[in-house]
Amino acid sequence: MNDFSPAQLAKLANEFDIEGEVMDVSPFGSGHINDTFRVITDGSGGARYLLQRVNHHVFKDVAAVMENIQRVTNHLKARYATEFEGCNHLDRRVLTLIPAKDAESYHRDERSNFWRMFILLDGTRSYDIVETPQQAREGGRAFGQFQRLLADLDVGLIHEVLPDFHHIGNRLGQLGRAVDSDAVGRVRRVQEELSFIKDRERRMHAILELAAQGRLPVRITHNDTKFNNVLLDDGDRAQCVIDLDTVMPGYVAYDFGDAIRTIINRAAEDEADLDNVQLNIPLFEAYADGYFEEAHQFLTGDEVASLMEGVLLFPYMQAVRFLTDFLEGDHYYKTHHADHNLQRTRAQLKLVSELEAHEPELRDIVARVAARYQ
Ligand code: GN1
Ligand code: MG
């Protein structure tokens, strides 16, 4: 992140079609993969932008990522314009890319980094930990609406930019290889975590099994539905779904599960004190209700039945991914201290235990909410 001086960043910002002179560039947000900066110019009303370096070690085909984003944002804007007639704040509802001066959607610098720019939405905020049912409900509506408005876009047009991204067999395979090579000698420290993971391997294949039976439609899904990827306005109304890098063909249970992973947890994703990893069940119901309000129009019965499998799977899969990175020497996720990936792993596994302990109650809630929208 600090590889770039303010002058270099200002120069990069000027590669894009921005209004005015760059006044300030500063680090922004809490993503684990890309580098994000806020750019302020003296353009009319003080224009604000987001400048991002796309991590091309993770996203190996950046052009395909950008094509997906353009296709999806264009489609969403067209859908908002027809569905909400007179909706004249399209660039507050949907991310807007600022093209590079050569009209490309991204800029490649002399060190082969990939850069892109979006309009920064003023007066919005995101939450790492959800505080109120109203926020949770708005998150559900936002991701439900996102899926609903994309339901009539041909999924065949969307590139699978990270193949098998949410395939648990693939993730467990990566973990197995990391254990076998034990590149940084950490395997002996994680025996307990490995056996917890092993014990649950089978049931975590539930979604893949339903899919193999042809029971789950492949839809265009977001695939990174952390709650902080919804921007809310100052009245906590959902404004815009962000972070569209992973929009790909997928199953709705994946988006539901990943959202619940961050919403139902009273603590942070990387909480150090495992006693604080507790469920906030009213937020679960509120999210589910907001989600169904939008999604009941297209969800099939099998999809509804798969949602709880996603809820159990996502903290588990996230733990598998954090643990793999820990065993490989922390190359994938940005870490902020030694053993950060191990701490993240433990917090996610604790969340799995809590979800298992409350599974019947959570299933009842999904059934009750689904019935409300029948
Ligand atoms: C990464 O970069 P960020 O924070 O949006 C990751 C997600 C994980 C998440 C865990 C491309 O997302 O899949 O769920 O960290 N993105 C990628 O916080 O791997
Ligand atoms: Mg992301």
298 C-alpha to center of ligand 2: Å?
A: 26
Atom 7 of ligand 1, residue of closest alpha carbon: 224
Query: Per-residue b/e over 346-370, b at no fewer than 16 CB within 10 Å?
Result: bbbbbbbebbeeeeeebeebbeebb
- State the CB neighbour count (10 A cutoff) for residue 54: 19
Q: Are 20 and 14 in contact (CB under 8 A)?
A: no
From the CB of 269, is ligand 1 less than 6 Å away? yes
Read off the amino acid at residue 20: G
Query: Could you give the maximum distance between any two Cα atoms of the chain, in Å?
Result: 61
Phi first, then psi, for residue 340 (nearest 5°) are -60, -40
> What is the Cα–Cα distance from 357 to 201, expressed in whole angstroms?
17
Helix, strand, coil proportions of the chain in percent (round to 5)?
50, 15, 40
Task: Give the per-residue pLDDT at 2.
Answer: 58
From the CB of 193, is ligand 1 less than 6 Å away? no
Atom of ligand 1 at shortest range from CA of 318 = 14
pLDDT mean by block of 10 residues, the chain; 374 residues:
85 96 93 95 86 97 98 96 79 93 96 96 92 98 98 98 98 98 98 98 98 98 97 95 98 98 98 98 98 97 98 98 98 97 98 98 98 94
**CA 312 to mean position of chain CA atoms:** 17
How many CA atoms lie within 13 Å of 78's alpha carbon, on the beta-carbon side?
9
Atom of ligand 1 at shortest range from CA of 33 = 2
Task: Give the per-residue pLDDT at 47.
Answer: 82
From the CB of 174, is ligand 1 less than 6 Å away? no
Q: Which two tokens stand for residue 155?
A: 């999924």
All domains of the chain, ordered by start, with CATH? 6-119 (3.30.200.20), 133-373 (3.90.1200.10)
Task: Give the per-residue pLDDT at 91.
Answer: 83
Task: Give the per-residue pLDDT at 188.
Answer: 98
Q: Are 204 and 170 in contact (CB under 8 A)?
A: no
Q: Are 66 and 99 in contact (CB under 8 A)?
A: no
- What pTM did the predictor assign? 0.96
- Nearest ligand, CA 317: 1
Task: Give the per-residue pLDDT at 30.
Answer: 84
Q: Are 190 and 327 in contact (CB under 8 A)?
A: yes
Residue of 56, 14, 52 lying closest to 35 (CA atoms) = 52
